[in-house]
Structures are given as structure tokens and as C-alpha cells.
Amino acid sequence: MSILEKYSAAIKNKDEAVMNDLLHDDFKFTMHKSGNVLGKDDVIKWAMSGDINQDKVRVVYENDEVGVHHSFVTFDDGNVEAVMAVYKYDNGKIVSLETGATPMPK
């Protein structure tokens, strides 16, 4: 199973141990839509909250250095976004994640 497949499964299953193992200690998540930057602990807490519900998850490209992933994400507030994400890896762990999101009609 690829890093992105493991990451998506960990979010879906709210598997904190896998999330902790997959994310590098220096992990940074940059959300270009809002400009927010989150660290490892913030992302794990958010993922465990159940607020992130991915649908039609697709790994566009992945190798040992980067991964590109697309999905439709429905949040608890009812908002749906088409999310393109680019992941950078360091020694088999996700060290950075950057996303671009397009709001979808409800």
C-alpha cells in the first residue's frame, strides 16, 4: 500500500497511530485557500475529529519523493471542496502537504 493510500485510510478510519507514524515530526500543512499552516499535532487532531470526509479519492501520481492526490471533501459544516494535494516525502514520511481547494455547490 502506498503512503497516500495509508494516509487516506488513516483519515477514513480515524487511526491516530498510523497518522502519527506517517507524518514527519517537522510536518507542515499549507492550505493555500486560507493561508493557514498547520503542524503535525494540529492535523492529527483535525483528522481524528471526523471533520474530514473524503470521497472519490484518487492518487494522481506518487514516487519516493512526492505524491499528488485528488478528492472531494465534505466537512461537518456541509461545505464540499474539490481538493488537489501535493505531498513531499522524507525517508518514507510525509514532511509537507500543500492543498488547493475549489468550493463545490451544496
CATH of 3-104, one of 3.30.420.40, 3.40.50.720, 3.10.450.50, 3.40.640.10: 3.10.450.50
Give the global pTM: 0.90
Identify the residue whose cell numbers are 510536518: 27
pLDDT at 67: 98
Alpha carbon 49 to its chain's center: 14
pLDDT digits (tens, 9 = 90+) for 40-60: 999 999 999 988 899 999 999
Q: Delimit the domains of the chain by residue range.
A: 3-104
pLDDT digits (tens, 9 = 90+) for 17-37: 999 999 999 999 998 878 899
